[in-house]
A and B are shown apart, each in its own frame.
Chain A
Amino acid sequence: MFAARNKGRLAMTAAAVGAALALAGCASGDPLAPETDPDAPSEAIVIGSQAYYSNEIIAELYAQALEEAGFTVDRNYQIGQRDAYIPALEAGEVDLFPEYTGNLLQFWNPDTTATQSDEVYAELVTVVPEGLQALDQSPATDQDSYNVTAEFAEANGLESIADLAGVDGLVLGGAPELEERPYGPSGLAEVYGVTVDFEATGDTTVESLLEGIVNIANVYSADPRIGQNGLVTLADPEGLFLASNVVPIASADLPAEAVDIVNAVSAALTPEGLVALNVQSTVDELGYAEIATQWLTENGFIS
């Protein structure tokens, strides 16, 4: 650290900083658009995944099933935000990506009114961009849901989100962006007339709920901790949340045989099955490759 010792140097510093900012005009384009690698081989099927361990497992299910059938697979996991991988998908850098119908539909059509599983999927198929296709959706779901502890539910007679309307002192916990999501505090107020305070709890949402830091938590429905901790998932009669089934998004020219295999894997994945896979990851602490191999063997995809 160097002390700016006199006004002259401070002035020079200010000028330099100003010049740097002025140069900002040189850069254009959307910084959230991804880097695409033009050298990726085109024979191999490139499978991507989100920075979400459960999604990584599903991607590995597809990967190993395809490898068993003789395809070459390149793994590009933990890509992260949709901003990064959707354009990569569209540009053909990634060929297959496990996604979730409701969240993805909202990404492409923020004003959608579909909420039920079938209508969400139907609409998703129509908004998929040119060059991509949505394969069959799986029965397995993994969507946002509001949960409370069993004690809290009993004490306040809660079965659905609507029952929250009369309760005071509600604090909602979830990822920081939940604060601004349409199904966050503003959605709760609009659709159900429920007012909540918000507390960002991120990856420790379930722990925060159990510790009493928050009393409502947004937990993904496939999170094994819901069952493990006896949490009560509040029903959503007004359709605040979109249904989110697992759906593989693929490039339009994915070989037909690959499509069939992927669809078969998706069909065999049940909601309970997905939760069980997640349990193996978080409780048994197994790696995604081992979990995938086990499941595929048990379900007859790998001999």
Chain B
Amino acid sequence: MNLFAEAIAWLLDPLNWQGSGSIAERVGEHLAYTAIAVLVAIIIAVPLGWWIGHTGQGKEIVVGITGAARALPSFGLIFLFVMLVGVGARVPAAVVVLMLLAIPPLLAGAYAGFEVIDRRTIDAARAMGMTEWQILWKVEVPLGLPLLFGGLRSAVLQVVATAVLIAYIGLGGLGYDIVQGIALRRYDQMLGSALLIIALALLLDAIFALLERYSVPRGVRAGRDTDVRTTPTGRRATADNPATT
């Protein structure tokens, strides 16, 4: 308890919240890197995933990318990219690596969101006379939102976790205090930072979990009937009590 008490004390010490390199600054840096990387990844991955899901072509790309991406050691990629572009461009290099990590879950989420939509729904939409664009925006995207947000959640957490390591190329973010603490033998600093990182990760996870849940279109039985996580509760659905857990 001693060490944790010291860590909390370090976190609450007002000196650590002032001046350059303050805890607030580190949190801000961390969130900035995460936001930029994820936003760029969204721009790249989501339209691609939607296109693959809508046309049904190129499924192997999604499977291949998701599988291969997991095998890439993000820690090594950070060093690799900085060495390739030179230390003057280390900020863009870090953002590119983080973006590359965010792409696979977003791609998979966008694609999976479309894939689980009942084909009959699409057929019905077509039968009603909707154009392809209308089907995309009025039917597929809303129905695919939950899984897309699931992918987004996964991407954000992946980036937040990896952004901790950019301290090893001299950039800021929440990993900086851990790296510095290791060399200075200050376990209160290391542990305080670690706890803060964990708290941030959990907070973001909760926020995106809520987004994921509330993105299910109103009045729609969640397009996750096939999701084995939702064990049937055994209750029968009534008009005012849908049988979702």
Inter-chain CA distance A21–B4, complex, in Å, is: 8
Q: Is A159 interfacial (CB 8 A cutoff)?
A: no
For the complex formed, measure the closest distance between the CB of B114 and the CB atoms of chain A, giving whole angstroms.
20
Given contacts A21-B4, A199-B170, contact A177 B87 (CB under 8 A): no
Q: Is B153 interfacial (CB 8 A cutoff)?
A: yes
Q: Is A251 interfacial (CB 8 A cutoff)?
A: no
Question: Chain A residues with Cβ under 8 A from B179's Cβ?
Answer: 176
Question: Chain A residues with Cβ under 8 A from B185's Cβ?
Answer: 32, 81, 83
Question: Chain B residues with Cβ under 8 A from A177's Cβ?
Answer: 180, 183-184
- Whether the pair B170, A3 counts as a contact (CB closer than 8 A) is no
Inter-chain CA distance A268–B171, complex, in Å, is: 40
Spot the interface stretch: A118-126, A135-143, A205-213, A220-228.
Answer: A205-213
- Whether the pair A31, B3 counts as a contact (CB closer than 8 A) is yes
Closest to B4 in A: A24
- Whether the pair B87, A25 counts as a contact (CB closer than 8 A) is no
For the complex formed, measure the closest distance between the CB of B11 and the CB atoms of chain A, giving whole angstroms.
14
Question: Chain A residues with Cβ under 8 A from B21's Cβ?
Answer: 179
**Residues of A180-216 whose CB lies within 8 A of B:** 180, 197-202, 204, 207-208, 211, 213
- Whether the pair A200, B209 counts as a contact (CB closer than 8 A) is no
Find B87's partner among A83, A176, A207 (CB 8 Å cutoff): A207
- Whether the pair A204, B82 counts as a contact (CB closer than 8 A) is yes
Given contacts A1-B150, A2-B229, contact A213 B1 (CB under 8 A): no
Q: Is B50 interfacial (CB 8 A cutoff)?
A: no
Inter-chain CA distance A94–B235, complex, in Å, is: 67
Question: Chain A residues with Cβ under 8 A from B210's Cβ?
Answer: 3
For the complex formed, measure the closest distance between the CB of B75 and the CB atoms of chain A, giving whole angstroms.
14
Given contacts A177-B184, A211-B86, A211-B87, contact A204 B3 (CB under 8 A): no
**Residues of B1-24 whose CB lies within 8 A of A:** 1-4, 20-21
Q: What does DSSP make chain A's interface, helix, strand, loop or mixed?
A: mixed
Question: Chain B residues with Cβ under 8 A from A175's Cβ?
Answer: 183
Inter-chain CA distance A10–B176, complex, in Å, is: 31
**Residues of A26-71 whose CB lies within 8 A of B:** 28, 30-32
For the complex formed, measure the closest distance between the CB of B205 and the CB atoms of chain A, giving whole angstroms.
7
Q: Is B197 interfacial (CB 8 A cutoff)?
A: no
- Whether the pair B169, A202 counts as a contact (CB closer than 8 A) is yes
Residues of B that sit less than 8 Å from A by CB = 1-4, 20-21, 82, 86-88, 90, 150, 153-154, 157, 167-172, 176, 179-180, 182-185, 187, 205-206, 209-210, 212-213, 229, 245
Enumerate 26 A-B pairs (CB-CB under 8 Å) in ascending A order.
A1-B154, A1-B205, A1-B209, A3-B209, A3-B210, A3-B212, A3-B213, A4-B206, A5-B245, A10-B206, A24-B4, A31-B3, A32-B185, A32-B187, A176-B176, A176-B180, A177-B180, A198-B20, A200-B167, A200-B171, A202-B170, A204-B87, A207-B86, A208-B87, A211-B87, A213-B87
Residues of A that sit less than 8 Å from B by CB = 1-5, 10, 21, 24-25, 28, 30-32, 81, 83, 175-177, 179-180, 197-202, 204, 207-208, 211, 213
